[in-house]
Amino acid sequence: MYRLALNMLFGDRAKLAMLLCGLAFSALLMAQQSSVFFGIMSWTYTPMVNIRAQVWVSDPMVEQVNDAKPLRDTDLGRVRSVDGVAWAAPLHTSFVQARMEDGNFKLITLVGIDADTFAGAPAVLTQGRIEDLRLPDTVIVDEWGAALMGRMTVGPDGKPRSIPLQVGDTFEINDIQARIVGICKVKRAFTGGPFVYTTYDRAKGYTLGARRTLSFMLVEPQKGVTPAELCDRIERDTGLKAWTADTVIWSWGERSLARNTFWWFWTNTGIPFSFGTAVLLGLFVGIAISGQTFYSFVLENLKYFAAIKAMGAGMGVIARMLFVQAFTAGLIGFGLGAGMAQGIGRVMIEKGMPPFVMYPQILWATFALVLGISFVSALIGIIKVSRVDAASVFRG
């Protein structure tokens, strides 16, 4: 019977196309918007990705990685003395204005790393060497920042164009020269400012007047000590807050700074609401279009279902037929929608904007919601068919 049910569905190509359009559009909207949402949210903990360390130590009041509450430099010594610490390095992060050669200002994320160990340095340099940061007034700028902060000039066609900053170019931070000795590749941040790396001591100089400049401490556990264990010891011995660098936001690790940052933005900003609205819209559009199309498919076939009922098919058989039809359409619609979302995502990833992260969980959730839409559609049809009197087939 199921084969015939599918043939009934595929036989009406116009209705099937409409049904698949509704389901695919719904799946696309839900998967694509969710992926952009998680992409944007993944930007919120970008420093955790760009500045690599197993354990981060902060002021106890810190809630998320973008909200550094400066520590005393002496806290570094206290952390280094905790049993299980292999090494601990200072880290400065702050948002400051950079003044470009043409007089323009740009907001940057200044990152000061330990000059001895380069702990927290960017992993990939496309130009220059990390060691050159030890030279006076030097910085390393990320690729996107180099393009954003580029020098404006006039092209051969007479139109203004920006030339990305290169090694050797300079700009100023608080009237102090910053000379570029390297270009690095890092992940972009939610706050929008390019990452500008320098040494911790020089960062102190760039942030004139700041009494405390130690934002975080990057800590490496000794062999045999897990990051979570070390966090416990640091908190117990120093009263500071210690975090693991785990960036899997789905995990339940209370100690993950990335996860806490993610949920801080979730609860303290309107981002989930706006994207949630779009996802809900996708769901409602799916239910409306697919439900209505499937209902009209059932209405068109109502007299045939009545005939089948008269011929002795129970409602169980007919309900299973309708479920098979609805779920098959849902499966194909999901495939089309998710495929389109992947395609759009690929383009977005190539362009870098907007951020796009399609977790497997997003696909599973979208799949479940599309099946939910199919279930509702089938249910509406089943209710309609169950109310049809089998005797109606004798009334012409």
- For position 10 contacting other proteins by CB under 8 A, the verdict is yes
* 3-class secondary structure, 21: helix
Tokens of 301: 């076939």
Interacting residues with other proteins between 313 and 332 (CB under 8 A): 313-314, 317
18 vs 219, which CB is nearer to other proteins? 18
Classify residue 264 by burial, with Cβ atoms within 10 Å: 0-12, 13-18, 19+: middle
Q: How far is the CB of 249 from other proteins (least distance, A)?
A: 47
Cβ-based neighbours of 194, under 8 Å, separated by 6 or more: 106, 108, 109, 141, 142, 144, 145, 146, 148, 149
C-alpha span between 12 and 143 (Å, rounded): 54
- For position 393 contacting other proteins by CB under 8 A, the verdict is yes
Q: How far is the CB of 392 from other proteins (least distance, A)?
A: 9
C-alpha span between 271 and 280 (Å, rounded): 14
Residue 358: other Cβ atoms inside 10 A: 21
Count of residues near other proteins by CB under 8 A: 28
- For position 309 contacting other proteins by CB under 8 A, the verdict is yes
- For position 389 contacting other proteins by CB under 8 A, the verdict is yes
* 3-class secondary structure, 31: helix
54 vs 392, which CB is nearer to other proteins? 392
Here's the x/- map for other proteins, 345-374, by CB under 8 A: it reads as ------------------------------
Q: How far is the CB of 320 from other proteins (least distance, A)?
A: 12
- For position 239 contacting other proteins by CB under 8 A, the verdict is no
Q: Which residues pair with 256 in a beta bridge?
A: 244
Segment lying near other proteins (by CB under 8 A), choices 43-51, 147-155, 185-193, 297-305:
297-305
Q: Which of 49, 271, 281, 310 binds other proteins (CB under 8 A)?
A: 310
The tokens 């199309």 sit on which residue? 293
61 vs 311, which CB is nearer to other proteins? 311
Q: Between the CA atoms of 183, 189, 193 and 199, what dihedral angle is there, to the nearest 10 degrees?
A: -50
Segment lying near other proteins (by CB under 8 A), choices 248-256, 302-310, 338-346, 355-363:
302-310
Q: Between the CA atoms of 115, 116, 121 and 125, what dihedral angle is there, to the nearest 10 degrees?
A: 90
Cα dihedral sign, 342-344-345-349: positive
Q: Which of 103, 156, 360, 396 binds other proteins (CB under 8 A)?
A: 396
Q: Which of 33, 46, 256, 301 binds other proteins (CB under 8 A)?
A: 301
259 vs 309, which CB is nearer to other proteins? 309
- 22 contacts 289 by C-beta, under 8 angstroms: yes
Q: Which of 304, 343, 364, 386 binds other proteins (CB under 8 A)?
A: 304
Segment lying near other proteins (by CB under 8 A), choices 59-67, 207-215, 306-314, 329-337:
306-314
Q: Which of 211, 228, 312, 383 binds other proteins (CB under 8 A)?
A: 312
- For position 158 contacting other proteins by CB under 8 A, the verdict is no
- DSSP assignment string, 151-171: EEEE-TTS-EEEEPP-TT-EE
- For position 12 contacting other proteins by CB under 8 A, the verdict is yes
Q: Which of 308, 338, 378, 382 binds other proteins (CB under 8 A)?
A: 308
Q: Which of 148, 225, 278, 307 binds other proteins (CB under 8 A)?
A: 307
The alpha-helical segments, DSSP class H, found in the chain are: 2-11, 13-44, 46-50, 74-80, 143-148, 200-206, 227-238, 257-268, 271-300, 302-310, 315-351, 360-386
Q: By the criterion CB under 8 A, which residues form the site for other proteins? A: 1, 3-4, 7-12, 301, 303-304, 307-314, 317, 389-391, 393-396
